[in-house]
Structure 1
C-alpha cells in the first residue's frame, strides 16, 4: 500500500474501509469504535495525549481553547517527533525514527507501539476524544488529515468514522510548525467541539480533566521527556503551567544525594543494572513548579530512587506469541520520596 505522497496514503487507508472491506467488517469496526467510546470517558483524553507526546520525545505539551474558522476548538500541541509512516515512499521503514503513525492511528485494535517501550495500546485513549467532537484534525510533519463523521456518513451509516481518515488542508490557524510563547510545536490536534463539547465549555466543565484534582503535577514524576505542560484556559480563567527541572538548587540536598549514592544502589542492583545495560541515573532529583492563573506559584522537590526488578521467566510473556520471554528481561519501577 505504498503511497507517493501523504494525501495518497490517507486515501489508500480510507479506500480499504470504504471499498475493499466487506460490509460485515465495516459494521464490526463501527461497533468496536462505539464500544471503545462508551467505555472511555472524555476525562481520559488528557493523560493519553500527554503520554503519547512523551513517547515521541516531546519536552512541551499545550492544551488551549479558541475559535478557529468560527468553531470553538480544543487544540492539543506538542513539540515531539513529527508523524511518519513507512507506507510513504521515501520514508525508510527500517529506520528507528520511522513509525506507522498514520496507519496506526487509523486502525482498530493494533498499534505501532511496542509494550516494552511505551505505555498505552490500540489508541483507545485517543478515541475518547470523540466524546466531545465529531471532527478531529491531525497536523504533523507532511501529514494533514481528519476523522470526520459527516464526511464518512455520506458513504453509509455503518462506516467506522472514528478510524476513517480524510485529507484536509492546513490553514494559517492550523499549520505546523507553530511557535507559541517561545516554544515551537510540531504536532497539532484540532478538536472541533460538537454540541456536547460546546455545552461542557459553556458549563465550565470542558477543562475539568485538566484541573489539579484530575491531573496533579506529580504526573511529571513518571514521564521521560516532557518538562512543561501549558493549559491555556482563558474561557474560564483556569489556566495552569507546570514545569519540571532536574537541577538541585539546594546545597544541603545536593550533599544528601551524594551521600545516598554511597549505599544506593546495592551491589545486587548494580549487577542487575549491568546485565540490563541500564542507562538511567538510579537517584534522580525532580523540582516541580506550578503557576496558576491567579498569579500564585506552588513548588515541591522529589527524590526518586529507581530500582530494576528481575522478572521470573514464568511470569513474562511476549505480547504477540504469548510465549515466555527471555529470562534476562527486566522491569523498572520507581520509589519516590518527597521533600517538604
Structure 2
C-alpha cells in the first residue's frame, strides 16, 4: 500500500463510521479537547516535545505572512504515526520512553489553524475544515486528506508541518508566544536530543537561534554551553552545570489512583535532572528564576 493509499484508507474508514452517533460525538469531543489547552502557544511546546521524541537534533519555527512552518530532522512519519495522529487519545508512544504519549498533543494545533498540513516520510496530507459541507458535525480534525502539491516550499528530507493561521490576531498572539519570556534557550537543557532551535519571523526580519553544545562530561556531572543568536549576532553565551540521575518510581506513586488514571503505572524509572548556571570561572550563579526550571522539569519529564 502506497502512502497515498494508506491516507485514503484511513479517510474512508473514518467516513464509514456511524455519522449520527460516532462521528458527531467525536466532533464534539475534539472541540472540547482543543479548547482545554490553556494558551495560544501551547501547540508550540507539543511540537518541541514531538520533535525531541522523534530524535530530532534541530527544530525550526518559521512565521510567514499568514502561516507557521515547523520543521525537524527527526525520524520521519511511519504508518503508526499517521494512524495515531488520526485518532483521539491513542498514541504509538509509551510513557516509559517518551515525553509526550497521550495522543492528544497535536490537537492543540486546531486552536489556531483550520488546515494543518503534514509532509514526512513520503506522506503528505492535511486536515481541512473547509473541505466538508457540515464541519460542525464532522470530525474533520482526524480525517486525513491527501495533498498533491504543497502550498509552501518544503524540505523532503525533514518532517514539515505547515499551519495556515485562522486570523491575523492569532498571528500577533503567536509572535508574543515565541518571545524569550515564553520560549527561551533554557528549554534545550531538558531536551534529550534537540541541540538547536531556530525561530524565524519574515515580517519582523528577525531570526533567533539557540544552540546547545557539550563542554565537558564526567560520570558525576555535565557542563553545556548555551548560545543565543539574533540575526546571526551572538547575544548571550552561558554555561550550565547539569546533574542527572535515574530514580526508581516508589511503589506508592505507581499505585496511586491519579498515576493509574494517567496511565503512568508501568513507568519503573525516571530521570531527575537539575541545572545550575555558571559564571566565566565556573562558579555557581544564584538564579532568580530557578523555580521556572523546576516547573519545566516537572511538567514535561
Do the structures match in fold with TM over 0.5?
yes
TM-score (norm 1): 0.74
- Equivalent residue for 1:81? 75
* Aligned residue runs from structure 1 range 315-334, under 5 A: 315-316=253-254, 325=266, 329-334=268-273
Structure 2, unaligned runs of 5 or more = 280-301
Change (3 A) 1:312 1:14: same
Q: Distance in 2 between matches of 1:302 and 1:294?
A: 22
Question: Which one of the candidate residues 222, 227, 236 is aligned to 2:195?
Answer: 227
- Equivalent residue for 2:277? 338
- Equivalent residue for 1:188? 160
Structure 1, unaligned runs of 5 or more = 86-99, 178-184, 249-256, 262-280
Change (3 A) 1:323 1:339: closer
Bigger Rg over Cα? 1
Q: Distance in 1 between matches of 2:264 and 2:159?
A: 37
Q: Distance in 1 between matches of 2:135 and 2:170?
A: 29
The answer to whether the aligner puts 1:247 opposite 2:211 as a matched pair is no
Question: Which one of the candidate residues 242, 248, 264 is aligned to 1:310?
Answer: 248
* Aligned residue runs from structure 1 range 1-340, under 5 A: 4-40=1-37, 41-66=39-64, 72-85=66-79, 100-151=80-131, 153-154=132-133, 157-171=136-150, 173-177=152-156, 185-194=157-166, 196=167, 198-201=168-171, 204-248=172-216, 282-293=220-231, 295-316=233-254, 325=266, 329-340=268-279
TM-score (norm 2): 0.83
Shift, 1:210, TM fit: 1.3
Shift, 1:168, TM fit: 0.5
Change (3 A) 1:7 1:245: same
Shift, 1:33, TM fit: 0.9
What is the Cα-based RMSD across aligned positions, in Å? 2.5
Residues 228 and 241 in structure 1, CA contact (< 8 A), matched pair in contact too: yes
Change (3 A) 1:73 1:8: same
Q: Distance in 2 between matches of 1:7 and 1:42?
A: 32
